[in-house]
Structure formats: structure tokens, C-alpha cells
Chains A and B, each alone.
Chain A
């Protein structure tokens, strides 16, 4: 934890830690239902989502379409399990839906779609769409003189897509200071490590060159994330903002943290309960 944090900050971080724990737990429970799922990504990005939903975002749990809400766009459809876990923790989705994850007619399909799930703003999955939609929503919100913000969680792999950079250039051009991109850099995409598939560095410089204000943090450090989100929201600049988060896939479950990294981390049938036990251990929960 950051030594410069005050006591009240420390309490806030402790709360965020509890949220991050339950987001991870929800994701593991969903993964267990299907015996598969993108739990590696979910565990990796859980701290980012904890800060997003429990520090940054304005929302009403009982009214997910509330006009005054901040919009959170998940480009990466396969991260749906992570966002569901956060939406459950936020009270937007009932915990009872966990057991339906990925099943026929479930409101929680394996890849995120707007029409299925409360709180899911867009249909992701065809990668490279989210930031462009975010540009349009940010322009629309400005037209309405709304103070709501648009967040877009995208992945390092999505930086391969030309459309992401079309949108990045546009956001800079239009000075969309109501748009906050969050890039989950877990250095893993479908075929290989992201840095091997198509090197994304120097990542912050690229965004800066497109007219964005940038932060790069350890995406599994709640204190650092909390500060970055506060700074991004509080900035008085005319630029769109990007928080680049380096994360560790499988974070919080040692057996998955150390497993060979792939896009789809294997979890054997007997390992789900072990993973949940390890998570409890890491968080000191008995």
C-alpha cells in the first residue's frame, strides 16, 4: 500500500480490496458453473473493476439505464465474466444469476451483449468497436450538456485493430475530456503474448501522440489505481484520458498466476474449489 495514503484513504483501499475479492470470487463461481471461462482475465482485471465501480462510476444499482449514469463500455466481449462479477458485486445483477452463467437463455452469455444483461452498455466481442462507440457517446453527451463520463475498457490486443486508433485520433481531435479509456495490458492475446504478436510499446507515448492524457499503473495495485482514476476524473485538461493498467492474469489465485499463460487458461475440474480456497487464503478469509 502506498505510504503517502491517509488513514481515510487506507480505509477506502480496504473497502476496495473487499470488493475486488468478491469480484474475483464471483468470477470463479461462474467459471465453475461451466467448467470454463475467461477467469484468467477476470482475476487480472478485478482490481481495475473494483476501483471503476466502487470509486469512479456514477450509477444506480436499481436503475441501470439512469440517464445521469456514467457509461461503462466493455469492448472485450470475452471479459463479460469479469464485468458480470463486478455488476453482481454492484447490485446491478442478482447474485442468483451466477448459477445460470453461460447456460441456455441466461442473461449472462459467455460473450457480453447489451440486449441480454442489465448494465452491459454495448455488445462487445468484435474487437475494436468499443472506443469508436465511446467517441460517439461522448460527443452525444456533450451535445446534451451532460456531465456523465464514458469509460471504455479495452485490451492490449485491441490495440492491434486499426479502428481503435481511428477512434483514438478522433477523441483527441474532438477533445473528448469526458472519455476515459482503460487499457488492460495483460500481455496476452489469442495466439501468443501480445508483445510477441504485435508489439504495443511504447504504449503511453502512442496514446499521448494521439492527444490523450495518460497514466500507466500497476493494474493490480489498488492504491495506484485509485489515484490514477481520481486524477483522470479530476483533470482539467481538454484531452481524453487513458489509464493503462499492467495486470497479471490469474491474480489472486496462485495456481493460476503461475500457470502457463494462454488466452484461455485451463482450469481442471477438481481445481475450482482449490482456486476458491486459494483466493480466500490470499485475502486472509477463513
Chain B
């Protein structure tokens, strides 16, 4: 009998792409290079994680516009603020855990309070590494949502990332983006006319039996789940909400109203505390709108280390788990 194949931790080089799934390599780095060709105000700065946030692509292309700031996230944020004060558009990269947990005060007071034009792009959001809690930013959105002036973007795939880089350059103000790096799946190209816009949620699939509002890689899971559920005769609407803040309130309210009496899921690669799910719940509360709202997200726990597929199953954010949740709810 063949030995059971061990799932590797695959932690730092983990790709969220499934086997055989079409991907784009380092979409952020390449998109930033493209944007920087047309805009000489763009500079790249990192806290010793250039290679791990795909910023090395930019550094190779524009060595004179790349600033290695060392493993010093507080400095990265304040120096980024200084660079923006001098009229540049700095893209700062580190991991989500370090930006949110270590550098919060610097982002808050040096950048957001003065609405400076700084883009903070961070890898390993939510559960995208098997390294355990030191690297898993399961609560970054919860941390950042309370910060006034800060726009928060959680892109789904390579297409979203490419378009969001261009959108961030156009947008004058501070942005935090959750980065998927390395080989990033192509998902949204199958939806004709899809365009990432800051502050907009977009309906990708129109179903009617249930609604999934999702952000980040969970939109990929939602789409995969919708495909599988359709085979079982369950039609699911998927609304992709890549801007967590400011929330596209009108679109979300309209979609929830369209699905009155149906299950409404909010799916996110984040703790169930303080993320998109609670944002939507609060939106419905403020508008006195009742819905059969359910959260698909990570538990309020420090998560295990291990292989990502195992962990995504364990914590309920794999496609299989999403299918099961929707199925159970629709079939009652």
C-alpha cells in the first residue's frame, strides 16, 4: 500500500491557486511597474519584505525609485508619510500582521489623520499562510476598520489586483490593500465587463436561491461554490465586495432586499469579528432591514499552523465548506 502523501505546510510560498487553475505571476509587482511607467511620482518602499510582497519586480525595473527601509515597520509608515508630504505616491509593503499590529499608530497619526496619499499593500491577509498566528492576519480588517480616512481593499484575484493598482494611483488618499502574491489565480476574467472600482460592489452571478456577499479570495470560493451548487439546482447570487471601507451600501442593501426571505451569507478570509460580515450586519441594522444573515469566516481564535488546504477545510473557508453551508441553509 502506498504511503499516504503528506500535505506540506507550504507556508511562505503557499499559493491559494488550485492545481491546474490559471494564474498570473506577481500581478501587483507587474501592475505597479506598468503604472510607474506613466507616473514618476510612484515610489516603492518595503520593510525587508520586497521579495515576499512582489515589490521586487518594481525594484528590479526601477531601482532608483525603490527604498529598502529595513525591518522597521514603524519607520516604513512614517517615512512613507514623509514621502507623500513631498508629493510622491509611495507604495509601502510588508505583511498584514506587521502593518496592522505593529505599525497601527504610525498609519493612524502619520498617514490617515492627514489623509496622505500613501498606499499600504500587505501580504498574508487572513489565512493565507500555514505559519500560525505570528503571520496570519486574521483580524487586520477589524483593526483597520475603525481608522477614519482609511480605504480598505480586499481583492479577489490577479485581475482585481491589477485593476486596483491603477485605481489606487488615481485615488488621492490612504489605502490599505490585502495582497495575494506569487501565482495568483485568474477568476474574474470570466465575468464580462467586470471592472474593479474603489467603493463598488459588483454582482458576478445572479441566482436567487441564496445570496453570497464576499470579498478577497472568498469571492473565488463563492464563485466555485455557486458553480457546484448550480449543478444541484441551487442558484446562488454572488456579489463581490472588494472595498470593505467605504462600503457600497446601496448595492448591498439592494441585493439583500432582492433576496428577502432567502439566506444571505457574508464570506470573508477574516475573523468573524470586525470584518465584512459585521460591516454588513451593521448596515442592515442601521437600515432596519432584517435578513437571514450568516457569516462564513474564520473563528475568533488564534489559528493552527499547517497546510493551507487542511486549514481552509478546518476553519470553514474552503469551497467544500461554503457549498455545505449554503446547501444546508437553502434546503433547511
Q: When the two chains form the complex, which single residue of B70, B82, B108, B113 contacts A133, counting CB atoms closer than 8 Å?
A: B82
Task: Name which of B85, B90, B114 has the most chain A CB atoms within 10 A of its CB.
Answer: B85
Given contacts A140-B82, A144-B86, A169-B70, contact A129 B110 (CB under 8 A): yes
Asked if B143 is at the interface of the complex by the 8 Å CB criterion, the answer is no
Asked if B315 is at the interface of the complex by the 8 Å CB criterion, the answer is no
Closest-CB distance, A169 to chain B (whole angstroms): 7
B330 cross-chain contacts in A, Cβ below 8 A:
none
Given contacts A123-B109, A129-B110, A170-B69, contact A136 B74 (CB under 8 A): no
Q: Is the CB of B74 within 8 A of A132?
A: yes
B90 cross-chain contacts in A, Cβ below 8 A:
136
Asked if A224 is at the interface of the complex by the 8 Å CB criterion, the answer is no
Q: Is the CB of A162 within 8 A of B74?
A: yes
B230 cross-chain contacts in A, Cβ below 8 A:
none
Task: Name which of B79, B105, B110 has the most chain A CB atoms within 10 A of its CB.
Answer: B79
Given contacts A140-B87, A170-B70, A173-B70, contact A126 B82 (CB under 8 A): no
The residue on B at minimum CB distance from A126 is B109
Encoded as 1 (CB less than 8 Å from any B CB) or 0, chain A from 134 to 153 comes to: 11111111011000000000
Q: Give residues 99-147 of A contacting B (CB, 8 Å).
A: 113-115, 121-123, 125-126, 128-129, 131-141, 143-144
Given contacts A129-B109, A143-B43, contact A166 B114 (CB under 8 A): no
B72 cross-chain contacts in A, Cβ below 8 A:
163, 166, 169-170
Task: Name which of B70, B82, B90, B109 has the most chain A CB atoms within 10 A of its CB.
Answer: B82
Closest-CB distance, B41 to chain A (whole angstroms): 10
Q: Is the CB of B78 within 8 A of A133?
A: yes
Question: Chain A binding site: helix, strand, loop or mixed by DSSP?
Answer: helix
Q: Is the CB of A135 within 8 A of B79?
A: yes
Closest-CB distance, A234 to chain B (whole angstroms): 24
Asked if A167 is at the interface of the complex by the 8 Å CB criterion, the answer is yes
A121 cross-chain contacts in B, Cβ below 8 A:
85
B29 cross-chain contacts in A, Cβ below 8 A:
none
Question: Chain B binding site: helix, strand, loop or mixed by DSSP?
Answer: helix
Q: How large is the interface on B (under 10, 10 to 19, 20 to 34, 35 or more residues)?
A: 20 to 34
Asked if B26 is at the interface of the complex by the 8 Å CB criterion, the answer is no
CA distance A98 to B69 in the complex (A): 41
Q: Is the CB of A136 within 8 A of B79?
A: yes
CA distance A126 to B109 in the complex (A): 7
CA distance A140 to B113 in the complex (A): 20
CA distance A132 to B86 in the complex (A): 14
CA distance A252 to B154 in the complex (A): 57
B67 cross-chain contacts in A, Cβ below 8 A:
139
Q: When the two chains form the complex, which single residue of A125, A137, A144, A162 contacts B82, counting CB atoms closer than 8 Å?
A: A137
Q: Is the CB of B86 within 8 A of A140?
A: yes
Asked if B234 is at the interface of the complex by the 8 Å CB criterion, the answer is no
The residue on A at minimum CB distance from B85 is A137
A167 cross-chain contacts in B, Cβ below 8 A:
75, 78-79
Given contacts A123-B113, A135-B79, contact A140 B85 (CB under 8 A): yes
Asked if B173 is at the interface of the complex by the 8 Å CB criterion, the answer is no
Q: Is the CB of A123 within 8 A of B114?
A: yes
Closest-CB distance, A278 to chain B (whole angstroms): 37
Closest-CB distance, A217 to chain B (whole angstroms): 27
A132 cross-chain contacts in B, Cβ below 8 A:
74-75, 77-79, 81-82, 106, 110
Q: Give residues 78-137 of B contacting A (CB, 8 Å).
A: 78-88, 90, 105-106, 108-110, 113-114
Closest-CB distance, B132 to chain A (whole angstroms): 25
CA distance A65 to B70 in the complex (A): 31
The residue on B at minimum CB distance from A144 is B86
Closest-CB distance, A147 to chain B (whole angstroms): 13
A125 cross-chain contacts in B, Cβ below 8 A:
109
Q: Is the CB of B83 within 8 A of A136?
A: yes
B82 cross-chain contacts in A, Cβ below 8 A:
132-140
Closest-CB distance, B281 to chain A (whole angstroms): 32
Q: When the two chains form the complex, which single residue of A122, A123, A140, A170 contacts B83, counting CB atoms closer than 8 Å?
A: A140
Q: Is the CB of A133 within 8 A of B74?
A: no
CA distance A173 to B79 in the complex (A): 14
Closest-CB distance, B83 to chain A (whole angstroms): 4
A170 cross-chain contacts in B, Cβ below 8 A:
69-70, 72, 75, 79
Q: Give 9 CB contacts A-B under 8 Å.
A: A123-B114, A132-B81, A136-B78, A136-B79, A136-B82, A137-B82, A144-B86, A163-B72, A167-B79
A residues in contact (CB < 8 Å) with B:
113-115, 121-123, 125-126, 128-129, 131-141, 143-144, 162-163, 166-167, 169-170, 173
With A133-B81, A140-B83 given, name 20 new contacts (CB 8 A).
Answer: A113-B113, A123-B113, A126-B109, A129-B105, A132-B78, A133-B110, A135-B78, A136-B82, A136-B83, A136-B85, A138-B82, A139-B82, A140-B87, A143-B88, A163-B74, A163-B78, A166-B72, A166-B75, A167-B75, A169-B70
